[in-house]
Chain A
Amino acid sequence: MNESAETTVRHRIDYTGAKMGMWIFLFTEVLFFGSLFLLYSVFRDKYTAEFHKAATELDIVLGTANTAILLTSSMFMATSITLVRKGKYGLSIFCQAATILLGIVFLINKYIEWGVHISHGIYPNSPALLEMSRGKIIFFSLYYVMTGLHGLHVLIGVFVISGTLLFTARRKINETDFVKLENTGLYWHFVDIVWIYLFPLFYLIT
């Protein structure tokens, strides 16, 4: 580990260091979302029956579709990294573009889903929601906050992958220096995993 110290002149890239930094960043993300999962558990315990009823109002088809979309995008992301390591830049760019596209489709889906709820008058502090039971108010608030923050992470991911796509096109990401793409992949899989937990908690456990 120590021999790396000689090679730390500012502009060189320390592969292991960069990966380590990314993993630590992901720990912080886990805690960030973890706090929300904590809130979910507490309120689910407090309002078990109402959470059960409220969950039936979510569209399981859209939710399942989004799960499939995000999982597929993760596959493209992972493939793009393998391709760069083999020097197949064109195909890698294609895979990154596919990841971006699927990310956008996910967000459009989410937009439609939110749109339906909002058109039914269900959004935080709406008159319709305030008339419902406290458990339902909290359920929908959790739904908006958790899927909203997750959606924000997808959006950020889309921008970051657009960046790595450009870098790959300019060969700044290449066979020997691909840690930026790998770290972006780690981030994308993390966002994917968060959804894997959100999906059952909001759509499946009814």
Chain B
Amino acid sequence: MVMDNEAAMKAPVSFYGEEGRFKGIFSWIFSTNHKRIGIMYLVAILTFFSIGVILGILMRINLISPGKFISERTYNSLFTIHGVIQIFLFIIPGIPASLGNFFLPILIGSRDVAFPRINLMSWWFYMIGGAIVILSIFTGGGAPDTGWTFYAPYSIRTTANVSLALVGVIFLGFSSIFTGLNFITTIHRLRAPGMTFFRMPLFCWSLYATAWTQVLATPVLAITLLLIILERAFAIGFFEPTLGGDPILYEHMFWIYSHPAVYIMILPAMGIVTEIFPVFAKRTIFGYKAIAFSSLSIAFFGYLVWGHHMFTSGMSDTARVIFSLITFMVAVPTGVKVFNWIATLYKGSIQLDSPLIYSLTFIFLFSIAGLSGLIIGTLSLNLYLHGTYFIVGHFHYTMFGGAGFGFFAGLHYWYPKMTGRMYNEKTAKIAWLTIFIGFNILYFTMFILGLEGMPRRYFQYQPQFRTNHIISTVGSWILAAGLILMFGNFIRSLFRGEKAPMNPWGGKTLEWTIPSPPPAENFEKIPVIEHGPYKYE
């Protein structure tokens, strides 16, 4: 595609033109090259993201006028599948498996990850899991209608096709574990000579913290979901009260994974914006070590706060107070990061290109997300707000405004390196503005709806909520238009974009020292590192 790249003339053939054992499509789906796997992940992840967006829009359309377009049962399936796809197929694997796979080895000066074949296997597990989840929509007793959390005992009793969907999610879990295992070993074993831990770009630190979380939390999800399958098949009764089991125990086990999973989603996004700020401010990152350690401490605290999902489920007051307190403590390392980013920009020579705009938006939206998180982390307020749209708003500000915008920032930042082409900067900015406006209309309205008492997951609602629901739905259309513009820009630029130079942004990390797109083995000669990653002064 981009073989005639100027840089590629001097350097070895880019990885797109690499001659492997296989030809055509097989040269991709059987490739163990981390960059090809990264691109395959990226394509798959963005495809699933688009499906998830479409399902979300359908839900919003229903909420203009409930019952006119879709039935109750379909609505339940819509929010279940929307959740499963966006969580397990988009945002969890999102950044680490695509951008992480592509750039982690390059950023630490390596030719590949530690276990290239396990890397390929993880992609296959991801695709098999994704296919099974999609299959579960159309087969058996109908699409799952439990919500993405699969809460017992309903998930045990419903006639919908829950078991098959769970098998899919377990596959996705193993895929995630393999990626984590691979990244930890890669970071420990494959750093270039002189690349000490504290000379690594901070994106690698965030991937490192993420990888440990993936490895240490995901098995709990795998066994918990496996038990739900066994419950459905053999009635083992662990989570079924009529057989002596305890449904609250399911919630505990589910959130022991799924809360740390929130940090699997957000940490890599924080890593990306940490890469972007120094490059576009032409300044060294402020507080390197503070950022590195805050990643680790966010990952650590992330394990201890799962109970805040269950304040209204039935827990002792002591447990609730402790979980609430630890939840507030997560805000500290997060605040440390935000202050460091802002301090990096201070007195910098700022170049306001789309990667930076997305990163600034990340801070803005994530701050709203974090502050609303403190509101619902407060016990007294949580009891009122927990079952309402306030949670939906908070969640989407965190995941989409945080992880999603971080991902988009990374896509814009690394697009020239991955494809060898530049995208249209003006279109990118218009797309950003549309997405930003649509996003806030769509989700900020949910905070208001929640405060007014609109319950979440409901198909129907009281007439006084109608206006806000309509505003929110209109927001979803604006957001979708912005997304189409952004992806359209990317796709068009693949063919029409200008050739990307080796270092379009003036970055100082290793990926900008090799041609765009990179050659198959990344480096002709493994570099020797003599200083930290953001040497601007």
Contact = CB atoms under 8 A, between A and B. Distances in A.
Interface of A: 1-6, 8-10, 14, 16-17, 20-21, 24-25, 27-29, 31-36, 38-39, 42-43, 46-47, 123-125, 130, 133-135, 137-138, 141-142, 144-145
A67 to B, nearest CB: 24
Contacts of B116: 10
Interface of B: 32, 109-112, 114-116, 118, 177, 180-182, 184-185, 188-196, 215-220, 222-224, 227, 230, 234-238, 243-246, 249, 253, 256, 526
B243 A138 contact: yes
B215 A27 contact: yes
Contact of B237 (A20, A35, A141): A141
Nearest to B238: A39
Given A10-B116, A24-B181, A134-B243, A144 B236 contact: yes
Nearest to A11: B116
Given A10-B112, A138-B244, A24 B234 contact: no
Contact of B193 (A3, A10, A29): A3
A125 B234 contact: yes
B259 to A, nearest CB: 15
Contacts of A16: 189
A1 B189 CA distance: 6
A174 B192 CA distance: 29
B219 A28 contact: yes
Contact of B194 (A2, A9, A10, A28): A2
B244 A47 contact: yes
Contact of B223 (A6, A10, A35): A35
Contact of A145 (B118, B181, B227, B526): B227
Contacts of A145: 227, 230, 236, 238
12 contacts: A6-B526, A8-B189, A10-B116, A28-B215, A31-B217, A32-B223, A33-B223, A35-B219, A35-B223, A42-B249, A124-B235, A141-B236
Most buried by B among A20, A31, A33, A42: A31
Contact of B253 (A35, A124, A125): A35
A130 B242 CA distance: 10
A21 B185 contact: yes
Given A14-B114, A14-B189, 14 more contacts: A2-B191, A10-B32, A10-B111, A17-B115, A17-B185, A17-B190, A21-B185, A24-B181, A27-B215, A32-B219, A32-B220, A35-B224, A42-B246, A145-B230
B215 A36 contact: no
A28 B193 CA distance: 30
A32 B216 CA distance: 9
Contacts of B222: 32
Contacts of A21: 114-115, 118, 181-182, 185
B156 to A, nearest CB: 12
A124 B227 contact: no
Contacts of A39: 238, 249, 253
B114 A17 contact: yes
B110 A5 contact: yes
B188 A20 contact: yes
B189 to A, nearest CB: 4
A1 B192 CA distance: 10
A6 B112 CA distance: 12
Nearest to B253: A35
A47 to B, nearest CB: 7
A69 to B, nearest CB: 26
Nearest to B196: A2
B236 A124 contact: yes
A141 B239 CA distance: 11
A11 to B, nearest CB: 10
